[in-house]
Amino acid sequence: MAYYWFKAFHIVGFVVWFAGLFYLVRLFIYHAEANQEPEPAKTILKNQYQIMEKRLYHIITIPGMIVTLAMAGGILYTNPDLFRETWLHFKLGFVGILLVYHHYCGRLMKQLAANECKWSGQQLRALNEAPTLLLVIIVMLAIFKNNLPTDITAWVIFGLVILMAASIQIYAKIRRRNKEKLLVQMNQINQNNPTDQIPQVQN
């Protein structure tokens, strides 16, 4: 019975961990793009995103990681034969990559707070897609184990994941271009209608 308790909370921790990572990098995107806003909106937004990032990282993402790893340890303790499984070795390898990603996000958070981050919003969007691939691979290894499918169905599913990630990037690019066009139009309107030419209302 202990094995099932460990497994249940391992899944809960895994979900919380990934939810935190997905939203954390999304906040990084908004934080980086806040530099394009005029003052005082720029300072207000950056301060707000910094608070949200710290709370998300320390209250949700890190606890999710700790629960995931602790419950995984419990699973292996109650079922040590799993150490002999090849699929588990691969899974642990991808979890190791995920841990590197997690700690790198913590480093980016500190750089954003110190105004030292060199990543653009577009680059951060690409970075935000990395956990998606890790999530798919880790879950498939956990479900199929040593019988990981390599047939056409598996490739179709993998292709759909790639297509979804590409669609998000394309959508973000289109939205950014539309925003730039809107700013250009607003600047043109302001140039054609300066405030000093607006007639004053007589009392």
Phi-psi region of 145 (alpha: psi -120 to 50; beta: other; left: phi over 0): left
> Chain centroid to CA 15: how far?
13
Residue 10 annotated as binding site: yes
13's enclosing H/E stretch is: helix 2-33
* Cα distance between residue 138 and residue 193, in whole Å: 58
Look up residue 129 and give its two tokens.
């897609």
Q: No. of H helices and E strands in the chain? A: 7, 0
Residue 89 annotated as binding site: no
C-alpha separations of 91 from 23, 96, 104, 111, 120 in Å: 23, 9, 20, 30, 31
- Report yes or no: 133 and 161 within 8 Å, Cβ to Cβ: yes
Place of tokens 């607003």: 186
Side-chain-side CA neighbours of 49 within 13 Å: the count stands at 26
* Binding-site annotation, residues for heme: 10, 91
* Binding-site annotation, residues: 10, 91
